[in-house]
Structure 1
Amino acid sequence: MKLFQQLLVAPAALGLLAPVAATAAELNLDGVNKYASEEQVTSISQFSDVKPTDWAYQALSNLIERYGCVAGYPNGTYKGGKAMTRFEAAALLNACLDRVTEVTDELKKLMTEFEKELAILKGRVDGLEAKVGELEANQFSTTTKLKGIATMVLGGGSNTGFGDDVTMNYDVRLNFDTSFTGKDLLRTTLRSGNFADSAFSNGNTALEVAFQEDAGVGGGVDVVGINRLFYQFPVGDGVTATFGAKVRQDDMLAMWPSVYPSDTILDLFTYAGARGTYSLNLGAGVGLWYQKEGFSVSANFVSNEASSEDSTIGVGEAYTFTTQVGYAGKNFGAALAYTYSDFAELGGVYANNMGLSGYWQPSDASWVPSISAGFGYGKSNLAVLDDSWSWMVGIQWADAFIKGNALGMAIGSAGQVGLGAGLGTGGIWFDGAESTIAYELFYKFQVTDNISVTPAFFYIENSGASDTVGGLLKTTFKF
């Protein structure tokens, strides 16, 4: 570095290399990219740590005014006193070369001194440009991203209605997310699975991951179908509109009032404790929400001529209308929601459902878990549905025992009604029962960023029937 130090006394060289020290501690062989990302300045007065008495003040001022290739930091500092490596010096020298119109003797000496480093940098830049070109030529789409999740479940349980046999099932979802403006979203989801013939397809032992697009034993098994097709876009300050031929109730809510994991075990615990209110009705729908500074108001309508993804009484809702008012802060949130449900298959039966749900979570992972809880209440013109209720409490420890892993458990009651002959077989939950309580416990091993393995146990106390005990091993792949 002797020549480099000697050349610093020459005005032209000094002016050229003054910005070298500005990012010395930050830059390495990839310094060109880092330098390009720094804040460009137009006047030396923008640097709070550069004074007229500094030895490089005039040279730096000339460089800013003549070449405009000086970069600073977002906090308005230059940090000119830090040490640097040869590659860092070459990176910044290379960044200024394109702006220099006069090649002086001092500059020629600098280019000779750093000839090797400049050649390496040029090779790396050329290589990156070639890779970018190859990616652009072979990319799937300029507007669409593909995300997928594949899940396999090995498990079984007693008194499930399907015997005590162990079963293995799968669910696969492929999301095609398209944006035309950078602020909108067109989502198309392909989904398939084979849970329909297993104990985990419906009723009290239904799993969150179970594919239930088509009702009935054997319906939809191993058939790929469109599970989502909707378009979401902003229509004003804080206002978002959604419409689709296949959209779910929660796709059109500004917030979800629970942080109990979306990959929970029993489907019962995915409704924020208010199963009638957050019925997750799936069909053609339209909705609006307004959101600002954490506060939100949502309203949506979903029409569904087929069976609902979930039903509290064993038959699908013809349509639902849902409104929600909520607040989602950094560590906590809560929402009050109302849903009107119409059950055309029961001949004029309707239900009014209300739900109050909320959550709290620590800022950082610790021995203190996140807590989610919710309560739902409903009234109907059908006597067996009148004064129905549901509730749940779920807790989860992030980074449990090992960073990336999670431990969780939940308890709750679905308030689901099992109707008699001719009205469907919604399950074993009865209004007014003494002990229709479900429990689950799981531990998720995060094997890699994209693979997790989750052993789980569940237990259901059934009033008037035998209790259900089961376990499973769930493996999830995300890509």
Structure 2
Amino acid sequence: MKLFKQLLVAPAALGLLAPVAAGATEVNVAGVADYASTGEQVTSITQFSDVYPTDWAYQALSNLIERYGCVAGYPNGTYRGNRAMTRFEAAALLNACLDRVTEVTDELKRLMMEFEKELAIIKGRVDGLEARVGELEATQFSTTTKLKGQTTFVIGASTASSSVDDAADAYAAEFGATTFNYDTRLFLDTSFTGKDLLRTMLRAGNFGQSVFGNGMTTMETAFEEPNGPNNVAINRVWYQFPIGDSFTATVGGLVRQDDMLAVWPSAYPADTVLDFFTYAGAPGTYNLTLGQGAGLSWESGGFSISANYVSANGFNSDPEDNSFFASDDEEFIGEDFIDSCGGIATDCAASNGTVQIAYTDDNWGIAAAYNYASGDNGVGIYGGNATPSAVSFAGLGVTNSFGLSAYWSPESASWFPSISTGWGINTTNIDDDASLFADSATSQSWYVGLQWSDVFLKGNSAGMAVGQSTFITGVDFDDDFEGSEWIGDGNYAWEWWYKFQVTDNISVTPALFYLSRPLGQGTAALSGGFGPSGDPEGDRDDTFSNFGGLVKTTFKF
């Protein structure tokens, strides 16, 4: 018997055979004849005079009658549910049910003939899908890895304005041309268990000689391999996996500080314009150091704690500082100098340690973070988010930084924007051998970023941000230093942008930016020569500013 018939007959057979007495003796042939000769199937359970709603099998018997119509009684209108059934009686009832199964099968055949064309189309589509799935499985390079990418085009320029003669012209001579730059990132994301992640990121770009890759006009998307433009290099490779229900561990041969944080405390999009606005207002704390390291984060409810360590020189085995400058009579090797200093947690490791405590809800969050950076070995604030003075001091010793950041976003798009804000303070303890005139320096930074969603058209967005890039607020000068202790390093940065979401994968973002004093205290020295050199005081009324515009096109694939 086919499986379909078995499934239909099983309820009837079980329901009818269950009362069969194990010790049934002689076959009552006359009774079987009476049962089988009626030839009439009941259509309602009420036709049985001896079956009552209180009987335990009442509902089962009712279903068999109404659904299959293959239950018969005795000529006197009784069912005799408590009587032992003989095998002949069971055979007669089973035969009646099989007749009904045949009728149902015929109905199904008629339906199949009526919808023959539609069924053929569906079968063809299923066969096509099976073939495509088979081809995909046969040609995919990995069953565990997904590839995604992003390419960004930037075309734009920056101009300078200054009260100092020839200062703006000197800037234009070096950075005055309109440039067309690109940044390409390829992500290979691999998961072995569904909960872990091995990320390998390849990157290439040509921002090295562009105004958008130098100084405080540096963009977040700016990148160029140290070996030169258009060189593809591994920019990130790390592995992340859960430990229990609350902990997540990350370890990488080339991992960045923010890759190991449970929370990024900002709703202002990182991929906008000026790089400074991507650091949650505290570039010293969130310095995005890249190197060899590991981290551990804990999350429970909305609370999280993250701790990580990165050594920017962790790939090098030499713990001693053996850098030297090549003289005229020495063979030039590589760059102007060779620095073989390195190791993990050594004096030459360029160590960077971060601890962050955060709380996030559905549409808001707040975080406090502390960072230790050994800036004298290559870690610290860089020119993309600080004045030249702040960069110089951060490179003279160990910097301790603290950042406080928060954000809030509306539950749905409205005239009210998301708000992100942050503040950071950094204290650098200067090595005795690194400076002859100062023992320590303090710098600060802050920002406020606003973003509106669905502006004019659904999917489009607009934003602006204002703040002060890292600037020196105090210096503990050496007692023997007789120079000026004047500090005028303050500056302001603004950016405005509007993003057109052309398709799900393509966006175009025109933007403007303005920097009031990107040279900070060095502005006063312009009268003694372009750049932060010459007389440290100079003319304190000197001005120097940047204004620029660009169009950024982003392709995601």
Q: Which TM-score applies when normalising by structure 1?
A: 0.71
**CA 1:369/1:58 → structure 2, altered by over 3 Å: closer, same or farther?**
farther
Instruction: Kindly state the Cα deviation for residue 294 of structure 1 after the two structures are TM-superposed.
Output: 2.0
**Residues 397-453 of structure 1, C-alpha deviation per residue, up to 9 Å, x if partnerless?**
1111111111010001111469xxxxxxxxxxx995364000000011111111111
Contact between 1:388 and 1:431, CA under 8 Å: does it hold in 2? Answer: no
Residue 467 (str. 1) matches residue 545 (str. 2): yes
Task: Provide the rounded CA distance (Å) in 2 between the counterparts of 1:303 and 1:431.
Answer: 35
- Secondary structure at the aligned position of 1:104 is classed as helix
**Residues 184-238 of structure 1, C-alpha deviation per residue, up to 9 Å, x if partnerless?**
1111111111100111113110000000553xxxx53211111001111111111
- Match in the other structure for 2:503: 448
- Secondary structure at the aligned position of 1:305 is classed as coil
Contact between 2:205 and 2:225, CA under 8 Å: does it hold in 1? Answer: no
Contact between 1:317 and 1:343, CA under 8 Å: does it hold in 2? Answer: no
CA RMSD of aligned residues (A): 3.2
**Residues 95-146 of structure 1, C-alpha deviation per residue, up to 9 Å, x if partnerless?**
xxxxx99962232223233333322222221121112112111223211111
2:215 to 188, 191, 203: 203
Paired letter, 1:116: K
- Secondary structure at the aligned position of 2:213 is classed as coil
The gaps in structure 1 that reach 5 residues or longer are: 1-11, 16-56, 64-99, 308-315, 419-429
**Residues 217-260 of structure 1, C-alpha deviation per residue, up to 9 Å, x if partnerless?**
xx532111110011111111111111111000000000100010
Task: Provide the rounded CA distance (Å) in 2 between the counterparts of 1:128 and 1:431.
Answer: 74
User: How many pairs align?
Assistant: 369
Task: Provide the rounded CA distance (Å) in 1 between the counterparts of 2:313 and 2:418.
Answer: 38
- Match in the other structure for 1:107: 108
Paired letter, 2:469: A
- Match in the other structure for 2:23: none
The gaps in structure 2 that reach 5 residues or longer are: 1-7, 12-61, 69-100, 161-170, 315-338, 340-347, 379-394, 431-437, 474-484, 524-542
**CA 1:406/1:105 → structure 2, altered by over 3 Å: closer, same or farther?**
same
Contact between 2:447 and 2:467, CA under 8 Å: does it hold in 1? Answer: yes
Paired letter, 1:197: Q
Task: Provide the rounded CA distance (Å) in 2 between the counterparts of 1:384 and 1:158.
Answer: 37
Instruction: Kindly state the Cα deviation for residue 363 of structure 1 after the two structures are TM-superposed.
Output: 1.2
Contact between 2:444 and 2:472, CA under 8 Å: does it hold in 1? Answer: no
**CA 1:403/1:435 → structure 2, altered by over 3 Å: closer, same or farther?**
same
**CA 1:432/1:414 → structure 2, altered by over 3 Å: closer, same or farther?**
farther
Farther off after superposition, 434-443 or 222-231: 434-443
- Match in the other structure for 2:192: 180
**CA 1:468/1:317 → structure 2, altered by over 3 Å: closer, same or farther?**
farther
- Match in the other structure for 1:240: 248
Farther off after superposition, 136-145 or 240-249: 136-145
Contact between 2:441 and 2:472, CA under 8 Å: does it hold in 1? Answer: no
Task: Provide the rounded CA distance (Å) in 2 between the counterparts of 1:459 and 1:282.
Answer: 28
- Match in the other structure for 1:128: 129
Task: Provide the rounded CA distance (Å) in 2 between the counterparts of 1:143 and 1:432.
Answer: 56
Residue 191 (str. 1) matches residue 203 (str. 2): yes
Paired letter, 1:192: A
**CA 1:294/1:101 → structure 2, altered by over 3 Å: closer, same or farther?**
farther
Task: Provide the rounded CA distance (Å) in 2 between the counterparts of 1:198 and 1:145.
Answer: 33
Task: Provide the rounded CA distance (Å) in 2 between the counterparts of 1:102 and 1:286.
Answer: 71
Contact between 1:247 and 1:282, CA under 8 Å: does it hold in 2? Answer: yes
Residue 334 (str. 1) matches residue 363 (str. 2): no
- Secondary structure at the aligned position of 1:387 is classed as strand
- Match in the other structure for 1:359: 407
2:429 to 378, 381, 392: 381
- Match in the other structure for 1:75: none
Instruction: Kindly state the Cα deviation for residue 353 of structure 1 after the two structures are TM-superposed.
Output: 0.3
Paired letter, 1:136: E
Contact between 1:385 and 1:431, CA under 8 Å: does it hold in 2? Answer: no
Instruction: Kindly state the Cα deviation for residue 305 of structure 1 after the two structures are TM-superposed.
Output: 2.6
Work out which of the two has the higher radius of gyration on C-alpha atoms and give 1 or 2.
Answer: 2
Q: 5 Å matches for 1:387-398? A: 387-398=442-453
Contact between 1:324 and 1:338, CA under 8 Å: does it hold in 2? Answer: yes
